[in-house]
Structure 1
Amino acid sequence: MAKFLYKLQNILSIKVSLETQSKTAYAEASNKFDAEESKLKNLIQKRLDYEEQYRQLSKAILDIPAIQRCNSAIDITKDMIKKQMVTVKVAEKNLDLARNRLNSAMKERKTYEKLKENSFEVFMKDLNSEEKKEIDELVSFNYNDNIRETGE
């Protein structure tokens, strides 16, 4: 029986490996985004804690140095939050780029797999037509052989 050989198998293998690399890059970008988002949430919670501490210090006996430290901590935390928001946006853009690359790699792999399927279908049709041709030749040979034997 004939063996099916796909001419573009090397390219398909490369596309599969590129897709795997894209999946890994996407997972890394996703993890980075999640980590940066978690840092942002922690900073926001830290700011809320400082603000609550500031309110408590304002209600109690006035301790001016403690209130000033708390107020400066709130300001520093706000600056850190702004910087972290920028970092989160960058991580989100990187995640989107990785997602787009993954989608592209998946489309290319699927395209080459579909081409392989189509090529295999053509191969099977050709194989079936050759088998039918051989069967027809065998039947006609046997028929002609039987006619010769009976006719002679």
Structure 2
Amino acid sequence: MTAFRYSFQKIVDLKTSEKTQAEWLLSSAIGALKEEESSLSRLREERGRWERKLGECSQEGVPLAELQLIQHYLDSLDQTIRRKQNDVVRAQKSVDLRRSRLSDTVKEEKVWLNARNRAEERFRYEMQLKEQNELDEFATVRYVASAR
């Protein structure tokens, strides 16, 4: 029996490869997002510690210069937190974009896999028909030979 060969198999393989690559890119983008979120969380924790320290210092009679220095550092942390929030937003957009591309790639792969499966089903049907015709021909020849 003849084996099935799909003429567009290279395209199916390419689409599968593209899907795998899109999965890797999404995974990478999710990792970057988690890192940005973690960094933002650490900055917020540090800001909270310094804010508490500022509150404690203001009650203890610490020199004004030290209070100003702490406040200046808090202002600097606030700017860093705002930049980090922007980084998180960009990382989230990247994840969304990668997720969308993966979804599109999966759809394309499914289209090609379905086309391949339909072609294979047609091939198998045609092979069964051919086999059945050969069997019918054998039966006819035997019948004619036995009738003589």
Give TM-score, length-normalised by structure 2: 0.97
Where does residue 111 of structure 2 map in the other structure? 111
Residues 2-151 of structure 1 mapped to structure 2, 5 A cutoff: 2-148=2-148
The whole-number CA distance in structure 1 between the counterparts of 2:63 and 2:127 is 93
CA distance in 2, matches of 1:72, 1:56: 16
Q: Cα deviation per residue 1:76-103 (whole Å; 9 max; x = unaligned)?
A: 0000011111111111111111111111
Q: Secondary structure at the match of 2:5?
A: coil
Runs of 4+ aligned structure 1 residues displaced above 3 Å come to none
SS of equivalent residue, structure 1 residue 135: helix
**Higher radius of gyration, 1 or 2:** 1
Percentage identity across paired residues of the two chains? 27
Higher mean Cα deviation, 56-65 or 119-128? Answer: 56-65
Unaligned runs of 5+ in 2: none
Structure 2 residue matching 1:62: 3-state secondary structure: coil
1:111 is displaced (CA, Å) by 1.1
Q: How big is the alpha-carbon RMSD for the aligned residues of Structure 1 and Structure 2?
A: 0.8
In 1, the alpha carbon distance for the partners of 2:62 and 2:140 equals 113
**Alpha-carbon deviation of 1:65?**
1.7
Counterpart-to-counterpart distance in 2, 1:41 and 1:97: 24
- Paired with 2:18 and 2:25, the residues of 1 have a C-alpha distance of 10
Q: Offset of 1:24 from its aligned partner?
A: 1.1
The size of the alignment, in residue pairs, is 148
